[in-house]
Amino acid sequence: MIKDNEINSSIIADFFLTKSELTPKKIQKLVYYAYSWFIALNNQNENQIYNVLFDEEPEAWIHGPVFPTLYTRFKDYNWNEVPKNEENIIFENDDLMSFLNDIWAKFGIYSADELEYMTHQETPWLNARKNTVSDERSNQKISLKDIFNYYNAL
């Protein structure tokens, strides 16, 4: 059983990998949507963001939001799929399991490229890359305020 204080981007990735084999890019986007929607649903306003799914902040890379630790973990797969995780992942908090299943139901149906396209239309990633040429590398953090405001408005 995974306790709340043990949750990180890798554990959330492992949860999504129990559903299917996935490319690293799709893993990144699913974890990003879980992270973002968690912020939008569990905080009151942009100036008091105390509730986050885990502590690592996403960066605005060329192909969309990226969590650097996930990139490091899965980079050797390149564009190939990461094998499905056959382990059961059980969270201490049943609401979190339900929330992540909802994220999977909503976003798991899209391809990695579709998810990338979606994030490229959204304010948090766009704002983080506003001073960056489209094919230029960046490790600019995506603002938690932008995440809260964008997803909370939806």
pLDDT tens string 33-91: 999 999 999 999 999 999 999 999 999 999 999 999 999 999 999 999 999 999 999 99
C-alpha to C-alpha distance for 134 and 151, rounded to whole angstroms: 23
Q: Residue 133: is its pLDDT beyond 90?
A: no
Please give the pLDDT value at position 5: 87
The total number of structural domains that make up the chain: 1
Radius of gyration of the chain (CA): 15
C-alpha to C-alpha distance for 53 and 90, rounded to whole angstroms: 15
Structure tokens at 59: 């960066």
pTM surpassing 0.85?
A: yes
Question: What would the mean pLDDT of 102-112 be, rounded to a whole number?
Answer: 98
Range of the domain at 72: 4-153
- Residue 135: which pLDDT band, with cuts at 50, 70 and 90? confident
